[in-house]
Chains A and B, each alone.
Chain A
Amino acid sequence: MQNKHSILIIGIGNPYRGDDAVGLRIAQDVKKKTPDHVNVIEQSGEGISLMDSWKDSDAVILIDAVHSGAQPGTIHRFDVHTQTIPTKFFHYSTHAFGVAEAIELARALKQLPQNLIVYGIEGKCFEAGIGLSLEVEKSAQEVVKRVQQDIHNCSPRKYTEHH
């Protein structure tokens, strides 16, 4: 059980589908650089497990690869409480019920975490294989920094004083 002030970082992706792994990669990097009260997990993107994993957290940052037609490497950031997530945005998954659906369903059921930020990194190649494309690799490093900043902004004072 997480305590009620916890921050949760969720990296989503498939490690064997090229740029789809970027969410997992960022989560792994963030994990090495964050304070103990931040919980970092990796998920496949199955919507119902996702809703379940964030239910005890106040602040959640979710990171996934997207395919919206923008330039590869483009970083999209949504504050879920003020923006809706286009359903087709996170469609690069074999799950009929994925990230966007989980967020919108949680909204309909009034089960969104108090703060939910979503980072979407525009992928270039989702073919079978391991490794990120150059553009995506570069953005991944940028997102790691921005997530660290978000963690800092979300953290209760008692934690941030030590870091």
Chain B
Amino acid sequence: MKSRTIKVDYLARVEGEGALHVKIKDNTVVDVKLKIFEPPRFFEALLRGRTFHEAPDITARICGICPIAYQMSSVHAMEDAFGVTVDGQLRALRRLIYCGEWIESHTLHVYMLHAPDFLGYPDAIQMAKDYPDIVQRGLQLKKIGNEIVALIGGREIHPINVRVGGFYKVPAKHELSPLAERLKWARDAALETVRWTATLNFPDFEQDYEFVALRHPEEYPFNDGRLVSNKGLDISVHDYDNHFIEEHIQHSNALHSVHKGRGSYFVGPLARYNLNFDRLSPLAQETARSVGLSHICRNPFQSIIIRSIEILYACDEALRIIEQYEKPDKPALEIQPHAAVGYGCTEAPRGILYHRYRIDDRGMILDAKIVPPTSQNQKTIENDLWQFIPLHVKLPNDQLTLQCEQAIRNYDPCISCATHFLKLKIDRV
């Protein structure tokens, strides 16, 4: 009888901190716990008693990496409550700023956090010594994402220009033109990124996942659409709470989200791609095919290629929006608050981000519900580890730990969203 525990206090290269606890007995996995410590739902409580128009700026503070996603889900939920539809160029600008966030967030993950796993480096710094040009390309590409967010959002970190009904200030057409030039370079760099990530070595690993993402009649999804899955789900965002529930798990302070009657599900780039391949731009589709991908990809390790394809799409889409842009007459629509419940769900870089608010007749928030993508993926990450660890169980502890970390990073878990100051730990008995 031999049992061992692996304990890792920090899981590096995930946003935030977390802990993973794996228990192995006689080369059999007997326990896997992804631990997340969260002062329960701090922000949801904080929002009560604030006015509806404060929600985008308060929730943007939940995450330094995807503030736009929080702003977008909250403004859509408020506009849903008050029966307002933002369209035309204001809607296009929302897609544009979202493109910026995807470019920024995905590039950070692909180049700085995930690629070192595949190339056998402990971090991007060591990788940069051998691949300076590649790392340099990643830095430049990410910067263009930052520039889009800064230009539309007012500043790079915690942008402040998004409001319910539109924006505080909208750019003139000529202000966007310099971005277009830079984006043409970025699109080429993104194309190279796809080609480069496709050459990495991927373990043969697929599960029967339920992928969940938004689907829009015409667009690759950012801001709206119906919630669909590869297992028959097709619902309005209004029905989210009837289909998905959050379960409190004893070992984690974050709530595990499950699809009622089904269990774990998978959100993020892989889910979007599998459910919306036909909505990608022709260039993104061709590029995917040229590196040997079909319209379906079930290997979570290949999410690094899919993320790169989404960077390419975001560059392409940003260019399209800038070309067709005309400055709208007004930066925002008038909002008349009244007692209502509003629902919003948008595609954060890591997957669907759901917001629900109940508002009183003075426009004050009575209660709020926020479900970030990482808490939706958490159960799927644990399930992957249950299947993945047995394949590598004979490796020494340090190597097995690295394999587990790489498998977790497939999901780009933004643990600071799902929780607040989290410690990630890997335990092996």
Residues of A within 8 A of B (CB): 43-44, 46, 48-49, 51-52, 87, 94-97, 101, 104-105, 107-109
Contact = CB atoms under 8 A, between A and B. Distances in A.
B128 interface: yes
B382 to A, nearest CB: 21
A94 B421 contact: yes
A44 B139 CA distance: 18
B135 interface: yes
Contacts of B400: none
A105 B13 contact: no
Given A49-B146, A108-B129, A96 B112 contact: yes
Interface in B1-32: 12-16
A97 B16 contact: no
Contacts of A44: 64, 157-158
Interface string B115-146: 00000000111101100100110010011001
Interface in B335-362: none
B139 A48 contact: yes
Contacts, number: 59
A101 B142 contact: no
Q: Is chain A's binding surface mostly helix, strand, loop or mixed? A: helix
Interface of B: 12-16, 63-65, 108, 112-113, 123-126, 128-129, 132, 135-136, 139, 142-143, 146, 156-158, 416, 421
B139 A95 contact: no
B156 A94 contact: no
Contact of B128 (A52, A95, A109): A109
A48 B157 CA distance: 12
Given A44-B157, A95-B65, 17 more contacts: A44-B158, A46-B64, A46-B156, A48-B139, A49-B146, A94-B416, A95-B15, A95-B64, A96-B12, A97-B108, A97-B113, A97-B124, A101-B124, A105-B125, A108-B125, A109-B128, A109-B132
A97 B146 CA distance: 15
A107 to B, nearest CB: 8
Contacts of A104: 125
Nearest to A49: B156
Q: When A and B form their complex, which 5 residue pairs have the shortest distance between CB atoms, in order from nearest?
A: A94-B416, A108-B128, A104-B125, A44-B157, A108-B129
A134 B151 CA distance: 39
A26 B126 CA distance: 32
A108 B132 contact: yes
5 contacts: A48-B146, A96-B14, A96-B108, A107-B125, A108-B125
B143 A48 contact: yes
Contact of A105 (B113, B128, B416): B128
B54 to A, nearest CB: 15
